[in-house]
Structure 1
Amino acid sequence: MNANTPRQSPAEWEEGAQLFDRTTRDLPTGRHQFHKERMMAQIHELQQEERTAAPSRTGRRFRLPRPAIVLPAMAAAVAAAVVAGVVTSGNGSGVESSGGVATGPALTTQVGAATTKGVPQLLDQISLAAAEGDHPTVKPGQYIYIESRTADSFLKSVDDKTTLAGHALHRRQMWKSPDGTKGWLIDPAVNDSPEGETLSLPDEQGNTPKANLNGPSYDYLAKLTTDPDALLAKIYKETKGQGNSPDQEAFTTIGDLLGESYPPAELYPALFKAAAKIPGVVVVDDAVDAVGRRGVAVARLDETSGEREEWIFDRKSHVFLGERSVQVKQNTGVDALIKPGTVTFTSAILHRAVVDDIKQTPSRSQAG
């Protein structure tokens, strides 16, 4: 789940901590306690920060590195800060290692010009391309395989000094069964072992969360309406109260389904038609994905955080390439470190295919 979550007060975080163990999923044995300890350290750090500076009022989107983590709003803010917020370190400057991923300077780009002109036409072309593309049905016993390259920028605190840093571009592989109960993740930014970790359910607490829009399975998506108006109405209804605004959360929800998900052939074009109905959607004529492929982006600016989410498509074929989030407005408080032009998250989808076994990779002819 990618949630738009405002910064919470320490009191709210302590309340969220009580929900943390009951609501996280896709975490292997032992990592709940690890993240809880990290979370409490973050609470202490925020308490110190509030004594020396005014708290930031800017809501910011945090991306969790595991798919389909289903959290209440309060616990989402806690988990987001633990995984992707201010990262503490006792080391000095220079390139470091975070898990199995090198840590260095923050990612930056030139902020591309945005326009509302041509939005319906572009999304119509994308919808047509989605309807015509090869999209095999996933059968029971098979797995959805998604391989991507990802990188991100984050705030890092070293000896009471906070700076902006970035995780280097790295490979990420995920397998999921159609019903969402079996899966595997290999991501050096997340895993303790290069072999990866299970995403299978039930989790170590015996919970099997039901699939939903923020944590969908293929089977769940196959049951959604393909009528764009009804689909968008469902998205607004089920994400009510989440994010920084209803429109931004609807856009984010659709964007999440384009990345580490596999919408059925009938649903895929409906997602783009629904997106065309969201106010504030723009076109960015020149955008670059995580591996340097240039394309055109469908985007929307989060007025609260000043961050623009961009879905990047091939200019000719209109195939989805990836997504990125770019800071386009100057903020205040600690968020002022994230200056315009900072790429807070970027991902390029390299392979999306149906395979016959977990941890099996597709042949070149299968990959899409």
Structure 2
Amino acid sequence: MNASPSQPHPADWPEAQELRSAQERDLPAGRHQFHKERLMAQIHEDLRTTAPEAAAVRRPNPFLRRVVLLPAAAFGLAGAVVAGLALSGGGDGGKALSTRPALTTQLGAVDAKGAPQLLDRISLAAADTSEPTPHQGQFIYIASKVANTYPKTVDDKTTVVSDELHSRQVWQSLDGKDGWLIEAGETSEEGITLAGDNSPSSAYAHLAELPTDPDALLRQIYKESDAVRDHEVPRDQAAFVAIGDLLTESYPPAKLGAALYKAAAKIPGVVAVDDAVDAMGRHGVAVARQNDTDGQRTEWIFDKKTLEFLGEREVQVEADKDGLFKPGTVLFTSAITQRAVVDGNKQEPGEAS
């Protein structure tokens, strides 16, 4: 979808320009793509106490970086995340996951003109929900299945492998300052606490304060994503990923969910994909955007009939410069299996308080 020549590009709105001039210059050199990948990669490695014999360069789990503390105002600086994050209570890190040949998929056909219509239908479906409104003291619970793909080197030979599909459970208080994570291969069976002084962008309290006017909402998305965007990541791609982060491991109010989809429709380059598969093997339609700097496409997957959000994946659509990731390689895949409001931290749906 191309920006209208009669209107300014969303990334050129005054608010975005002001924030870019004030903060982009201060981003540390070499920061990896979006949401402080390098910092999250280090946290990821710190959680693991048993190093495999073969060297592996693992892609940081996108969901791991999403649940840790990204301050609401502008997702925060990396130092603030380190200072405010507590990772404890889980004992030793989880056992290393077994690996398999890299996950691959057939790439669905792209329809640039169909994206606005699809997102409009998804927005209407999101608005027509009757999910309960959480109350003070309750927690948002998200269960999912995830897998990552990464290069692994053994005896100077590098191959691309994927983790086995594994379960993940996240609890988050409404203000986002308390929570719990259990993920195979990332934490012990007991899990780790996720706590800090700053409120993450995915916290329900923050989501409830976001504007539900799509234009105003998109202006804020650009402002916040600009604060952490790597210079090599296109601004429109950063905004698209930011919206995806607010749709996945979170519990957006119905009106906000509808507005997020309408806002996404205004980002140049967003397309519809006729077929995409989530981590559970469920086929659906997708809303996607390609990052032309690395040839990777981020896809949000929806049920073809109900338009319910199923999951997200990142797919290599063009060969990378090193030739490791072939087109069709699934770099990350997820499937939401349960999303609920519970009465306490570490409580699963259906359990007594």
Partner in structure 2 of residue 111 of structure 1: 107
TM norm structure 2? 0.75
Alignment partners' CA distance in 2, 1:173 and 1:281: 30
**Whole-Å separation in 1 of the counterparts to 2:148 and 2:200:** 27
Please say if residues 311 and 322 of structure 1, whose CA atoms lie closer than 8 Å, have aligned partners that are also in contact: yes
Distance 1:145 1:25 in 2: 24
CA contact (8 A) 1:325 1:343 kept: yes
2:298 pairs, out of 306, 309, 313, with: 309
Contact 1:27 1:199 in 2 (8 A): no
Partners of 1:27 and 1:165 in 2: how far apart? 21
Q: Which of 162, 165, 169 is the matching residue for 2:161?
A: 165
State which of 293, 316, 327 in structure 2 corresponds to 1:327.
316
- CA distance in 1: counterparts of 2:349 and 2:292, whole angstroms: 41
1:92 aligns to what? none
Taking a change above 3 Å as real, the CA distance of residues 31 and 107 of structure 1, as seen in their structure-2 partners, is: same
Q: Are 1:233 and 2:219 counterparts?
A: yes
User: C-alpha displacement at 1:266, in angstroms?
Assistant: 2.0
In structure 2, the residue matched to 1:285 is 274
Q: Do structure 1's residue 180 and structure 2's residue 176 form an aligned pair?
A: yes
Count of residues paired in the alignment? 296
Give the superposition deviation at 1:109.
Answer: 0.6
The whole-number CA distance in structure 1 between the counterparts of 2:268 and 2:274 is: 19
1:167-316 → structure 2 map (5 Å cutoff)? 167-191=163-187, 193-201=188-196, 208-212=197-201, 216-240=202-226, 242-243=229-230, 244-316=233-305
Structure 1 residues 101-126: Cα deviation after superposition (integer angstroms, max 9, x where no partner): 22121111111111113211111110
Q: Could you tell me how far apart the structure 1 residues matched to 2:69 and 2:152 are? A: 23
TM-score of the aligned structures, taking structure 1 as reference length = 0.72
- Return the alpha-carbon distance in structure 2 between the equivalents of residues 267 and 12 of structure 1: 34
Change (3 A) 1:26 1:132: farther
**Which structure's relative contact order is higher, taking Cα pairs within 8 Å and 6+ residues apart?**
2
Q: Does 1:68 align with 2:68?
A: yes
1:332 Cα deviation after fit: 1.6
Aligned counterpart for 2:142 among listed residues 143, 146, 162 = 146
The amino acid across from 1:103 in the alignment is: T
**1-structure distance, mates of 2:141, 2:254:** 16
SS state at 1:266 partner: helix
Of 327, 338, 344, the residue aligned with 1:340 is 327
1:35-74 map, 5 Å: 63=62, 65-66=64-65, 67-70=67-70
How well do the aligned residues superpose, as a CA RMSD in angstroms? 3.4
SS at the partner of 2:98? Answer: strand
Gap change, CA 1:318 and 1:33, over 3 Å in 2: closer
Cα distance between partner residues in 2 of 1:160 and 1:100: 21
Unpaired segments of 5 or more residues in structure 1?
Answer: 1-10, 46-59, 76-97, 202-207
Match of 1:358 in 2: 345
